[in-house]
Amino acid sequence: MAGLLVLLSLVLITAYFREPAGGGLHGVQSAGATVLRPFEVGAERVARPFRDAYGWFAGLLHAKSENERLRSQIGRLSSVVVQNENAAAQLADLKRQLNYIGSPAFPDDFDPVATQVIGKPPTEFEQQITVAAGETDGIRIDDPVVTADGLVGKVTNVTRDQAQVTLLTDPEIEVAAYDLETKAAGVIRHGEGRDTLTLDRVSKSQIVNSHDTIVTQGYKLGPLQSVYPQGVRIGAISGASSSEVDFFWQIQVSPSVHFDSLRSVLVLVPKDRG
């Protein structure tokens, strides 16, 4: 039966091609095409929504994949940008420290040890930072710590490769200081608010003015001498008040150092330590 159908098909095809245009077989083909055209159009209309839906889902999956790829790329680029910004800020900070070391304001009796801040206070109630230099760099307890902006604090604990620095805002730190403009002398202590200082024990007979610069006194009394060198900037007077019953001024000082953004510091090592 199958062989008969194949033979019949070959005969019809041969006759179709040998028949002149407009012949009977051509008419049958044309009529068949006309009859089948509505079915072809209907099939096209039925299939089109499925093709459109497939294309939409395929496009959505591609868009999601591309979105994830772009998000990942943006994350990597953002990380690089942050690293570059930190590196640029640190470089600028180190340049400022270097300029300070070469300036007349830098104390001659000390050698600077430039080091990075590698640990900051975990809470606002703790006033210590950790730096990446220690005994192998010649650092010892009570060595003063500064930046180009001013006094940071002093070393209160030291290991072979690291040191703990207690900030000027800690309640345990006291520094002899004076008004650079009027020479009014007193003692710098921590203030009532975070990152604030007070200039205490300044008698009312002395003159102080708003915005006056406060620096370390750096006294030497025979074998006794201050931990801190003379003339290191501490801050500026932000306010002063007193009452009739007070013997001393109540002086608020804004520190010149931004303690919450320290990246690097200079530990001052005395040259005569030996």
Indicate the average pLDDT of the chain.
Answer: 80
* Same domain, residue pair 116 and 177: yes
Is 90 contained in some domain?
Answer: no
pLDDT digits (tens, 9 = 90+) for 103-157: 998 998 999 999 999 998 877 778 999 999 999 999 999 999 999 999 999 999 9
User: With 90 as the cut, is the pLDDT of residue 163 above it?
Assistant: yes
Percent of the chain with pLDDT over 70: 70
- Structural Rg of the chain based on CA atoms: 42
Confidence of residue 92 (pLDDT cuts 50, 70, 90): confident
Is residue 91 in some structural domain? no
Which range has highest mean pLDDT (82-91, 114-123, 207-216)? 207-216
CB 166 within 8 A of CB 221: no
269 or 80, which is more confident?
A: 269
- What type of residue sits at position 220? K
Is 139 part of any domain?
yes
Position 222 pLDDT exceeds 80: no
Closest CA to 152 of 228, 68, 43: 228
Q: Which of 129, 171, 169 is nearest to 261 (CA)?
A: 129
Q: Is residue 156 part of a domain?
A: yes
With H, G, I as helix, E, B as strand and everything else as coil, classify residue 26: helix
Within-domain flag for 105: no
Residue 137 sits in the same domain as residue 62: no
103 belongs to a structural domain: no
Is residue 51 pLDDT above 90, yes or no?
Answer: no
pLDDT for residue 244: 81
Tell me which of 21-35, 58-72, 92-106 is least confident: 21-35
pLDDT at residue 16 tops 70: no
Q: Are residues 43 and 122 in the same domain?
A: no
pLDDT at 150: 96
pLDDT at 31 over 70: no
| pLDDT (0 to 100) of residue 135 | 97
Residue 174: CB atoms within 10 A of its CB come to 14
Whether 96 is in a domain gets the answer no
Residue 53 has a pLDDT of: 59
Q: What is the pTM of this model?
A: 0.70
Together in a domain, 134 and 15: no
Domain identity same for 264 and 199: yes
Q: Which helix (H) or strand (E) holds 216?
A: strand 213-216
pLDDT in tens, 189-209: 998 877 789 999 999 999 999
Residue 122 DSSP code: S
Which of 55-69, 109-123, 227-241, 256-270 bottoms out in mean pLDDT, i.e. has the lowest? 55-69
49 assigned to some structural domain:
yes
User: CATH number for the domain including 237?
Assistant: 2.40.10.340
Residue 28: per-residue pLDDT: 47
Residues 250 and 111: their CA atoms lie apart, in Å, by: 36
Enumerate residues 6+ apart whose C-beta is below 8 A from 196: 169, 190, 252, 253, 254, 255
Give the number of domains in the chain: 2
73, 121: one domain: no
Same domain, 138 and 42: no
pLDDT greater than 60 at residue 74? yes
Q: How far apart are CA 125 and CA 201, in angstroms?
A: 25
Residue 83 has pLDDT above 90, yes or no: no
If asked whether residues 124 and 240 sit together in one domain, one would say yes
Same domain, 63 and 128: no
Please state whether 100 falls in left (phi above 0), alpha (psi between -120 and 50) or beta: alpha
Tokens of 7: 């033979």
Host domain of residue 20: 1-84
Same domain membership, residue 256 and residue 126? yes
Q: Report yes or no: 120 and 131 within 8 Å, Cβ to Cβ.
A: no
- Arithmetic mean of pLDDT, 91-97: 79
Shared-domain flag, residues 165 and 241: yes
Asked if the model's pLDDT at residue 32 lies above 80, the reply is: no
CB neighbourhood size of 179 (10 A)? 22
Q: What is the pLDDT of residue 33?
A: 47
CA distances from 274 to 40, 44, 138, 267 (A): 102, 97, 10, 16
Domain end point (choices 84, 100, 124): 84
Judge contact between 175 and 234, C-beta under 8 A: yes
How many CA atoms are closer than 13 Å to the CA of 50, on its beta-carbon side?
5
Q: CA distances (Å), 169 to each of 188, 208, 225, 255, in order?
A: 9, 22, 22, 9
Q: Are residues 78 and 137 in the same domain?
A: no
The residue out of 84, 119, 136 marking a domain boundary is 84
